[in-house]
Every structure is written in C-alpha cells, then in structure tokens.
Structure 1
Amino acid sequence: MEASRESHGTPGYPRSVRSPRGEARRAELLAAVAGDLKVNGLADFSLRRAARAAGTTHKVLLYHFDGAEDLLGQAIASLREGRIANAMSAAAAHDTLSERVRAIWPVLMEDATGLRVIDQAIGLAMYDPQRYAHLANDASALYRGPLISLCPSEWSEQRREEVAELILATMRGFLMEWQTSRSAVRIDPALSALVRALEREETADA
C-alpha cells in the first residue's frame, strides 16, 4: 500500500466546503473510490490508483481530501455507513432487541466484498496502530450509536452502552469467523446463545 508516500498533499477539502458544487463533486469522487476499494481491496492503494478509479487526477483528489490516508479513511467509512444503514433497516422491522440483533446478522454477512475491505482495514490498524488505529476506532464509533439505539429506551444510558458493546464485540467475532472459515457451523449456535442472553437481559426487569 502506498498511502504513506502520498499522504501529505495540500489540504483541499476546506477550500470547497462552502460550495454545494464542491460538496457534490467530493461525494462523487468518494463514491468512486469506495467502489474501487470494494472490488479491489486495500492492497496497493494510492492516490494515483484512486484517481484512475474516479476518472480524474491525483491533484484533483488533493483539492478535495487531505491526502491518501484521509481519502482511504473516508472511503472505508462510507462503506461502513452503507452496511450500517442496511442493518438498521432490517432491524426496524422487529420490536425486541434480541429479534433486531438476529435480523442484523444476515445483512452484515451477505456483503462479502465490502466485508473483506473492512476486515483489511482492521488488520491494517492492528499491523500499524500508530498510523491506522483510527480505522478501527472510527468503526467502533460508527457502530456504537446505532447499536445503542436498538436497546430499549427505558434502560439507563450505562446499561444501553454496556449491552451495545457486548453486541459489537460479539458480532465482530462472528464476522472474523465467517471471513476465515466461510462456515456458519459454529456461528449459528453462538448467535442463538447471544439472542438468548439478550432475551434474558430484556426480561430481567419484567
């Protein structure tokens, strides 16, 4: 990956932040780069590769983004946001936390290419935390709020946060198992155990 060699371009996005046209162009570029990542992964990512995918030049990307690492982080975030939106849409059809979590899992698992990119980002954060820890930390921040919102509103803030962290950590383990084995043999019973635990949590105060 070549992001480190091209990550110090002149910050450009603030120059276009007030322009609707600039905002639209930036969103268009980001979508194109995210699409390239989804297909080709993170290996050999660079501004020049991103520019080819977006049909532009690396100088144009530097006008809208603060460098390769900024562009990479925002493209990965956009992929995550799409997965979260789909998962929350599936959860909205259910009334209880346990049912919502069960509904989320197939949505998170079905997008294999997007999941591959996101897992590569987590691996990069583990390999070089000094530079890329934000790729993992940003993921936690993106997921935490939606998961908290799935919890019963009458619960205390602390309780909702604790349960959301439990769901997040467990789902991450499931996704890692799915990526490495492509088998649900161990995941299915573990998911059922998580659902039962959440059912008990929901009825604890009844």
Structure 2
Amino acid sequence: MDTESTHIDGRTVRFQNRRPELLDGAAEYVLDNGLAELSLRRVAEALGVTHATLLRHFSSKDELVLAVIEHIRADFVRQLSGEIEHAPGGSVAALAKTVWARLCQPLEQRQFRLLFELVGRRYAGDSAFVESMIRSWVELIADRILVAGDRSGPEAAALATLMLALFRGLQLDLMLTGDRERVEAALDASLIVFERH
C-alpha cells in the first residue's frame, strides 16, 4: 500500500477548511462597510489574518467581491427556503409577502445597499455578477414560488422577473425615504397581479 497517497497533509486540510470561514467574515465586512474603500488588506486586517492568507484564497479584490455576492445569495436562499415551505396559504401573493418580510429585516437590507453600490460600479457588466444577481434570483423565485401553480416556464420566469424588480425597486424607495407604510401599501397593491396567477 502506498502510504504517500493515504497521508493527509494537515496544511492542505486547514487551507481547504479556512475559505468558508474567511468568506463568512468577508461577507459581513463588505455588508457593513461597502465597497468604496474595500481592499484585501483592510479585509484581512478586519478578519485578523495576513494579506497573504487572504490572497491564497482569493486572488484579487474582484474575485473576493464575486465570491461574497454568491455567498450572500446562497445564505439568503438557505434561510428563506424553510420560510417559503412553511408560509401560510399557498398563493404566490402570500409567498411574496413572506419573502418581503425577510428582505425588510435590517440585516438583510444591507444586501440591497451593496447591490445598488455594485450596479454603479464596473461589476454590472460582469457575467458572474449578472448570473448571481439576476438569473439565479429569477430561477429561485420561479422554481420555489411561482412554479407551484399551473404555470408554464416562460410565464413563471416573467412573473419572477416582475417580482424581483418589484422587491428591488421598493427596497430602493424604502432606503431613500424610510416610508415603510407607503412602500408596503404599494407592495400590497402590486401583489394583486400575483393573486391572479
């Protein structure tokens, strides 16, 4: 038996296990501080690691930002999945309200600030950014919320796109005005469209 092939290098294992921990911390840092003065050195300092350690896991600031975006999305999906499955009533409108309630929690609203900042930067044209911020969300909404009824794929995708645009537009309004009562009244009025489906 080849002992070299069965030997596990402790450094390799630590390296592999370190990335998720660093990504958790980097996501929180980016959500709290935004991108304006983001650098790998600042993130490393905030996480209590060396710049070299961070570079071993993320070869550039852009790679880190894209990994953070995907991490935030995956974490949100994971948290939301159970809520969607246990949402009261089976209508699309009821499920949309469940999603909205989650999105309005202060910790979740940070991701909208980050989204709007990202759109104003060069990431908006990046295919990985578009995939993570648009296509994967439309897919999630279409699959988990809209396809539950008798809808075709194109109809579900169109309704999912509308719902995503609605949530993001209303969140921008809410961030700028703080007028939650008016924004939620607009949401309720808009959900009539989803109740028909």
Residue 67 of structure 1 pairs with residue 60 of structure 2: yes
Q: Which among 135, 139, 156 is matched to residue 152 of structure 2?
A: 156
The change in CA–CA distance for 1:130 and 1:92 in structure 2 (over 3 A counts) is closer
- The structure with the larger Rg is 2
Shift of 1:63: 1.2
Aligned to 1:138: 132
Aligned Cα root-mean-square deviation (Å): 2.3
Shift of 1:124: 3.2
1: CA distance, partners of 2:130 / 2:110: 14
Residues 95-138 of structure 1, C-alpha deviation per residue, up to 9 Å, x if partnerless? Answer: 221110011111101134x5335423433333435766754552
- Which ranges of structure 2 fall in alignment gaps of 5 or more residues? 1-11
Task: Tell me the matched-pair count.
Answer: 182
SS in 2 for 1:66: coil
Residue 44 of structure 1 pairs with residue 37 of structure 2: yes
Aligned to 2:85: 92
Q: Which among 101, 105, 109 is matched to residue 110 of structure 1?
A: 105
2: CA distance, partners of 1:144 / 1:131: 18
Shift of 1:21: 4.0
Shift of 1:47: 0.5
Superposed, which structure 2 residues align to 1:165-204 within 5 Å?
A: 165-201=161-197
Match for 2:151: what amino acid?
W
- Range 150-159 or range 167-176, more displaced: 150-159
1: CA distance, partners of 2:45 / 2:15: 19
User: What TM-score do you get using the length of structure 1 for normalisation?
Assistant: 0.77
Shift of 1:156: 1.0
1: CA distance, partners of 2:21 / 2:118: 26
Match for 1:182: what amino acid?
G
- Which ranges of structure 1 fall in alignment gaps of 5 or more residues? 1-18, 202-206
Q: Once the two structures are aligned, what percentage of the paired residues are identical?
A: 24
**Is contact 1:46–1:68 with CA below 8 Å preserved after alignment?**
yes
User: What TM-score do you get using the length of structure 2 for normalisation?
Assistant: 0.80
The change in CA–CA distance for 1:183 and 1:84 in structure 2 (over 3 A counts) is farther
The change in CA–CA distance for 1:140 and 1:131 in structure 2 (over 3 A counts) is closer
Shift of 1:153: 4.9
The change in CA–CA distance for 1:163 and 1:29 in structure 2 (over 3 A counts) is same
